[in-house]
Structure 1
Amino acid sequence: MRPYDAFLLISFGGPEGEDEVIPFLENVTRGRNIPRERLAEVGEHYFLFGGVSPINQQCRDLLAAVTTDFDAKGVDLPIYWGNRFWAPMLTDTLARMKQDGVRRVLALPTSAYCNWSSRTAYQEDIDRALADLGEDAPEVDLIRPFYDHPGFVTPLIEHTQAALDRLPDQQREGAHLLFSAHSIPTTMAEASGGPDHSFGPEGAYGAQLAEVARLVAEKLDREYPFEVVYQSRSGPPSQPWLEPDVNDRMEELKAEGVPAVVVIPHGFVSDHMEVKFDLDVEAKETADRLGMGYERALSSGSHPAFVSMVTDLVREYIDGAEPVRLSSLPRCNEGDRKCC
């Protein structure tokens, strides 16, 4: 087993004031030739919430809980935090770790699944930051995708049941479960299946999303129709992305006589801005316009089981503990450090 001398949480980052919104979005879209007016349009999502993304505070809360759990379970690692696109920046955090004498780092990305944007992009950002640090930069290992760990799935089961229970009895009887994840280009999804394409046309990402939806749905108080939908699509209309869109599917379900939906953001670790805007604002407005019952389940990230999962994952690497998985899906690109 590799000896580690620090734990690092890597997240996306987000603005914490109106003056930070556009600079943050410029960081996210750098090199992609996104028109300024498009940034302003997306910025309005943040301005609805005072320019504050929930994600940084969610990371602070998670780190505080993980620190307590590490102490209780005898995991003796200092904890660091770095973001890809806003303060505290990953590059600055890794530079501080080098100054602190950290040599080997075990890092957890706040993304549970395999695809380029949720896995490989993290590794590429790490590689660039370490190259800038030069000699004696720390070595960083990314913890495996954890979509099928009980600490991720169990909170989703509880939160989905709680959302169902909030529906009126008559609506609950005919409710449909929509498990929502961030859409990606179909070419990116296909690439996540590895060279043999063993995961099917939507790659490891689509297969893993479908598996988590199944794992959650089968543990509820009774059977409900369920499916995976997508949100947060961007890019030109000519480029195919994973579908169906959550709003489009709600339109179809209403036409089919479905009285209510529960939307579960199982593609995300926490209730960050894309969940708060795309589901709590846009999808809720769609439901209201259609006269359809609507509830949104919480994500996993604030649940005690999720906190405990972080410690369990660390123990896999520092103690050689057996990986805990609820699924029998193959590991995507086993042995490839970039995973997807």
Structure 2
Amino acid sequence: MVLSFGGPEGPDDVRPFLENVTRGRGVPPERLDEVAQHYLHFGGVSPINALNRAIIEAVRTEFDAYGIDLPIYFGNRNWHPFVEDTVAEMAGDGVRNALVFATSAWGGYSGCRQYHEDLARARDTVGAEAPALTKLRQFYDHPLAVAAAADAITAARADLPDDVRDGARVVFTAHSIPIRADAADGPTDLGGNLYSRQVREACALVAAAAGVDDYDRVWQSRSGPPQVPWLEPDIVDHLDDLHARGVEAVIVVPIGFVSDHLEVMWDLDTEARDHAAALGMGYVRAATIGTDPRFAQLVRVLVQEMTDGASAQRLGALPMLGVTDDGRAAACCTLPVSR
């Protein structure tokens, strides 16, 4: 099963989708209205479901090429097809055991543990006939993911004008989270900060593969009360800093995202791009890795780690986490008490 976040596929879906995303968090209606306008700016359609279906078709082709006879299902946390409905479908088809590929490369609560909670909720909803569900491991440092992201930087650089190409600054960006939540994520023997440490390591790996010696790591898409500190600097604020330092062009790399969903389309392709234009800076955004042919290969080799006992391919130094739905996942991605 490919398990993802979900997104609206028409204007009438936007508000119900946002209510699903924020349920139980006390988000004021006016904030939902504000975010709804971001979706409506693009016709009320998030590209994430279509991109996930394209990933599924690519993985199906990859499975066929390697003789892997496994059906592929699709489920979401926040919109159709909901994970509960997908697990019910799997049970009806007689599936007893399933591997789950979550479209997040990361540890931390939102990137890993919440997907385990989704699976547990779906199994409880379906009952005794629900299949066992094993989530595949985090893959932020997989050689195929690193190579795809590095090549995306090279391709993006080629789109810049000749006079600013060589001096363009590479800026990696990932979804911000509250600082306190990040500090609480991860096994106690790792000291927390699992998500931000993985992002830091992924940036270093991709930069090295792309031949980039110096780069920046920033954050985007923060929300919530302004008095709550989140990971910084924000991408738009950072563009101001780079402009003040005389940087003439940037290559923005959405390292934190598999696909071009709304946080990429709005925060990077709209707000950040427009701000760079107002500053007179050259701006290109590297592609996300979900459309790269190597992404389907990545899914296939992660499956083969579980089905064939293939060795885990990794470039990072942090412990491999998020593989199962037992206590290892709980220790990996602990939910902060205050959340």
- Partner in structure 1 of residue 134 of structure 2: 141
**Map of 1:300-311 to 2, 5 A cutoff?**
300-311=289-300
Structure 1 residue 328, shift from structure 2 partner: 2.1
The residue type paired with residue 111 of structure 1 is S
Residue 333 of structure 1, CA deviation? 7.6
Per-residue CA distance 1:12-50 (angstroms, 9 max, x = gap): 111111111111101101111211111111011111111
CA, structure 1 residues 282+34, in 2 after alignment: closer, same or farther (shift >3 Å)? same
Equivalent residue for 2:17? Answer: 24
Opposite residue 254 of structure 2, the aligned amino acid is P
Aligned: 1:206 with 2:196: yes
The structure-2 alpha-carbon separation of the partners of 1:187 and 1:309, relative to structure 1 and needing over 3 Å to count, comes to same
Alpha-carbon distance in 2 for matches of 1:10, 1:181: 20
Q: Is 2:251–2:284's contact at 8 Å kept on the other side of the alignment?
A: yes
Distance 2:194 2:312 in 1: 19
In the TM superposition, what whole-angstrom CA distance separates every residue of 1:204-227 from its partner, at most 9, and x where no partner exists? 21111111111111122x545212
Alignment check: 8 A CA contact 1:177 1:224 kept: no
User: 1:215 maps to which residue?
Assistant: 205
* CA distance, structure 2, for counterparts of residue 210 and residue 36 of structure 1: 35
Checking the alignment, whether the CA contact within 8 Å between 2:138 and 2:322 is kept in structure 1 is no
Shift of the alpha carbon at 1:121?
A: 0.5
AA aligned to 2:216 is E
**Cα offset for 1:285?**
1.1
SS of aligned partner of 1:79: coil
1:262 equivalent in structure 2: 251
* Residue-by-residue CA offset, 1:257-304 (whole Å, 9 max, x unaligned): 111111000101111111011100010011011111110000000111
8 A Cα contact 1:182 1:267, kept in partner: yes
Deviation digits for residues 101-159 of structure 1 (CA, Å, limit 9, x no counterpart): 11111000000011100100010111111112222321111000000112211111111
| CA 69–333 in structure 1, closer or farther in 2 if over 3 Å, else same | closer
**Aligned partners of 1:247 and 1:286 also within 8 Å:** yes
Segments of 4+ in structure 1 off by > 4 A?
332-335
Which of residues 27, 43, 47 in structure 2 aligns to 1:50? 43
TM-score by length of 2: 0.94
1:60 is aligned with what amino acid? R
In the aligned structure 1, how far is the partner of 2:187 from the partner of 2:5?
A: 25
Partners of 1:84 and 1:232 in 2: how far apart? Answer: 19
Specify the SS of the correspondent of 1:218: helix
Cα root mean square deviation, aligned: 1.4
Query: 1:52 offset after TM fit, Å?
Result: 0.7
Gaps of 5+ in 2: 334-339
SS at match of 1:336: helix
| Alignment-derived partner of residue 37 in structure 1 | 30
Residue 109 of structure 2 aligns with which residue? 116
Q: 1:11, 1:84 within 8 Å by CA — same for their partners in 2?
A: yes
Corresponding pairs, count: 329
Q: Is the 8 A contact 2:138 2:321 kept in 1?
A: no
Q: Report the 3-state secondary structure (helix = DSSP H, G, I; strand = E; otherwise coil) of the residue aligned with 1:301.
A: helix
Q: Residue 260 of structure 2 aligns with which residue?
A: 271
Q: Which aligned pairs between 1:214-293 and structure 2 lie closer than 5 A?
A: 214-220=204-210, 222-293=211-282
The alignment partner of 1:82 has SS state of strand
Q: 1:64 aligns with which of 57, 79, 95?
A: 57
Unaligned runs of 5+ in 1: 1-7
**Would you say 1:194 and 2:187 are equivalent positions?**
yes
Residue of structure 2 aligned with 1:182, choices 175, 179, 189: 175
Paired residue for 1:5? none
Q: How many angstroms apart in 1 are the aligned matches of 2:322 and 2:292?
A: 30
Q: How far apart, CA to CA, are the structure 2 residues paired with 1:223 and 1:11?
A: 31
TM-score, with structure 1 as normaliser: 0.94
Give 3-state SS (helix, strand or coil) of 1:295's partner.
Answer: strand
- Secondary structure (helix, strand or coil) at the match of 2:174 reads strand
Give the letter aligned to residue 132 of structure 2.
Answer: E
- Structure 1 residue corresponding to 2:284, chosen from 264, 286, 295: 295
Aligned residue for 1:75?
Answer: 68
What SS does the corresponding residue of 2:112 show, helix, strand or coil? helix
Identity %: 50
- Worse-matched range after superposition: 296-305 or 210-219: 210-219
Query: 1: distance between equivalents of 2:42 and 2:5?
Result: 18
* Distance in 2 of aligned mates of 1:124 and 1:223: 38
User: Are the aligned partners of 1:254 and 1:292 in contact in 2 as well (CA < 8 Å)?
Assistant: yes
How far is the alpha carbon of 1:330 from its aligned partner? 2.1
Measured after TM superposition, the shift of residue 173 of structure 1 is 2.4
User: Does structure 2 retain, via aligned residues, the 8 Å contact 1:151–1:307?
Assistant: no
Q: Distance in 1 between matches of 2:271 and 2:169?
A: 18
Distance 2:141 2:77 in 1: 24
Instruction: Tell me which of 296, 302, 318 is aligned to 1:313.
Output: 302
